[in-house]
Amino acid sequence: MYTTEMDKKAADAGLAQNDAEDPAKVARFEERVAADEFIEPNDWMPEAYRKTLVRQISQHAHSEIVGMLPEGNWLTRAPSLARKAILLAKIQDEAGHGLYLYCAAETLGTSRQEMIEALHSGKAKYSTIFNYPTLTWADIGAIGWLVDGAAIMNQVPLQRTSYGPYARAMVRICKEESFHQRQGFDLLLQLVNGTPEQKAMAQDALGRWWWPSLMMFGPPDDQSPNTARSMRWRIKRETNDELRQRFVDATVPQAELLGLKVPDPDLTWNEERGHYDFGEIDWAEFYAVVRGDGPLAKERLKARRDAWDQGAWVREAADAYEAKQAQRSLAA
Amino acid sequence: MADPLFEYLQRLGDDSLILAQRLCEWCGRAPSVEVDLSIANMGLDLLGQAQLFLAYAGEIEGKGRDEDALAYHRDAAEFRNCLLVEQPNGDFAQTMARQFLFSLHRELLLEALTASSDTRIAEIAAKAVKEVRYHVELSSDWVIRLGDGTDESHRRMEEGLDWFWRFVDEMFELDALETELASSGIAADRRALRGEFDRRMTEVVERATLEVKPSQWPLSGGRRGRHGEELSRMLAEMQVLARAYPDARW
């Protein structure tokens, strides 16, 4: 799954102008990035680049982990064994994505422990989409189709992002995400060809997930102050609005194929632009959810904290055992 | 009386299915991402085994029921799993104790079934045994690590194992039905596996600095559909959607 960088703070502006950084090094770094070279963990990089990346990659990792919860909500009730296995495999992939991403972020000098503490304290963000509830089985299809669909839009360009470990993690993740999107679409296809109740379930899911999916691309470009710098640094390769438009253009025909109605009265094909025009996103809702006021924001964070706290004794035991083993092999 | 082979395949399939369902309950709640991954991995293996055994069971029964009809449209009393797998997850130590005892018995059973005179069973067993060998390894490691970790983990692992000793014997029971199937080379003689199970189980439990405590009052009944209180509640959750829309295909 996916997160866009949503938690931008004006404070970063100061970091970009860090006087302590050697201008020659900065210039050399900018040149390498502009030439589409990969930056590797031991290469010199500006502090602001490092910080922005840690934030972006860890948000992405947190999103993968928190994203397991809304899907896990239906895992025990999946209506066939094959669907249960597909969903479990998908959730397992997401845990795996979370793991590669935490590892990629760790190469920048921040430990997983620190990142997880930041998530649990509410300091770090994750994708707002996971603060919405999964109310029916069709939501599992909608998440695959729309949420993973949006993720792909954003992640495909990130395979060419300037930071090597992030780009490489993204190559692997993208392959799995396209499988996730297909399974979501396939799940919905089965529903729309099923009983009237199943079709209604699919329509209801699209009705609830459409707008939050568009919000996944983050604030509009004119309210995204760091976009220019992030694009120059190749941390971001396309703007939020460009990616959102591409998603709408790709997804509307898929909704038509499913025979489902996109819940936007302003949605029309604009011949002149060669794109769909669509209605205004409820930005007040977007910012509320980013702030932590989403419908299930408290529940999601509590579930993660509880899992972590209740597992503390297991992690301590594993460390203690490892220490004992190390001592034993020394003594031997 | 139902076809003995149909009964036997349900036993094999239901053990996997019920344990897979229990493992699904951990999703997103494990002590670390790595553990979440490994639990999902075991759950997937077990689900796959359940699908294979139950699909075959449906074919043998010959009444048009497939693996989903068996999984979603039988009541608790029709399930043929052993009592151990339906036990609640408890804490992570209890879950790993259950996984260890089940997987070790299952590895030995599947190994024996690779020589089954029923080629379909032999094929499924050959695939499944490789998966279960890894489950034994993973769960043994946790039993040892927790038993020999901190005071708290030692106590929890001890309690975890203590929950299950009364359900161990049932996994090695050979009733008339299985005796008959074993004599024709289809089923494995579960009793013959007990010595090896005890030897390997004791080795792990002792390395975990814990004790084996054979039950004075072992429980059984799962193979005849006599289950504990928890199974029907667990099935109510698992089957809710399939039962609410019986005409739907998913």
**Phi, psi (deg, nearest 5) at residue B109:** -65, -45
In this structure, what token pair is assigned to residue B139?
Answer: 């769960």
In this structure, what token pair is assigned to residue B91?
Answer: 């804490």
Look at residue A277 and give its three-state secondary structure: strand
**Residue B163's CATH number:** 1.20.1260.10
Decide if B69 touches A, using CB distance below 8 A: no
Please state, in angstroms and rounded to a whole number, the distance separating the CA atoms of residues B115 and B135.
Answer: 21
pLDDT in tens, A243-269: 999 999 999 999 999 999 999 999 999
Decide if A198 touches B, using CB distance below 8 A: yes
Look at residue B134 and give its three-state secondary structure: helix
| Domain range list for chain A | 8-294
pLDDT in tens, A181-232: 999 999 999 999 999 999 999 999 999 999 999 999 999 999 987 788 889 9
Decide if A76 touches B, using CB distance below 8 A: yes
Residues of B in contact with A79 (CB under 8 A): 72, 241-242, 245, 248, 250
Please state, in angstroms and rounded to a whole number, the distance separating the CA atoms of residues B228 and B196.
Answer: 28
Chain A residue whose CA is closest to B141: A318
Please state, in angstroms and rounded to a whole number, the distance separating the CA atoms of residues B18 and B47.
Answer: 9
Please state, in angstroms and rounded to a whole number, the distance separating the CA atoms of residues B101 and B164.
Answer: 8
Candidate from A72, A137, A315 with C-beta closest to B28 = A72
* DSSP letter (8 states) at residue B224: G
Chain-wide mean pLDDT for chain A?
Answer: 92
B53 in any annotated domain = yes
Best probe of the A interface among B25, B94, B150, by most A CBs < 10 A, is B150
Closest CA to B108 of B39, B42, B174, B190: B190
pLDDT score recorded for residue B66: 98
pLDDT score recorded for residue B221: 97
Closest CA to B186 of B178, B175, B176: B178
pLDDT in tens, A37-80: 999 999 999 999 999 999 999 999 999 999 999 999 999 999 99
| CATH class, range A8-294 | mainly alpha
Closest CA to B4 of B208, B214, B205, B183: B183
pTM: predicted TM-score of the whole model, two decimal places? 0.94
pLDDT score recorded for residue B1: 63
B183 in any annotated domain = yes
pLDDT in tens, B115-129: 999 999 999 999 999
- Residue B43 corresponds to which amino acid? G
B250 in any annotated domain = no
pLDDT grade for A18, boundaries at 50, 70 and 90: low
Mean pLDDT of A276-297: 92
Candidate from A85, A187, A198 with C-beta closest to B48 = A85
Closest CA to A77 of B229, B73, B52, B21: B21
Closest CA to B106 of B81, B71, B78: B81
pLDDT in tens, B179-215: 999 999 999 999 999 999 999 999 999 999 999 999 9
Closest CA to B43 of A310, A96, A92: A92
Query: Parallel, antiparallel, or unpaired: how do β-strands A268-270 and A275-277 relate?
Result: antiparallel
**Angstrom distances, CA of residue A159 to CA of A90, A167, A182, A227, A236:** 21, 4, 20, 18, 10
Residues of B in contact with A95 (CB under 8 A): 33, 36-37, 40
Candidate from A68, A99, A315 with C-beta closest to B31 = A315
pLDDT of A328 > 50? The answer is: yes
B208 in any annotated domain = yes
pLDDT score recorded for residue A7: 47
B65 in any annotated domain = yes
pLDDT score recorded for residue A4: 52
Q: Look-up: residue for tokens 């929890």?
A: B156
The residue segments making up the domain with residue B55 are 4-214+221-244
pLDDT in tens, B38-80: 999 999 999 999 999 999 999 999 999 999 999 999 999 999 9
* Total structural domains within chain B: 1
**Angstrom distances, CA of residue B250 to CA of A197, A250, B14, B201:** 12, 25, 21, 41
Pair A74, A139: CB distance under 8 Å:
yes
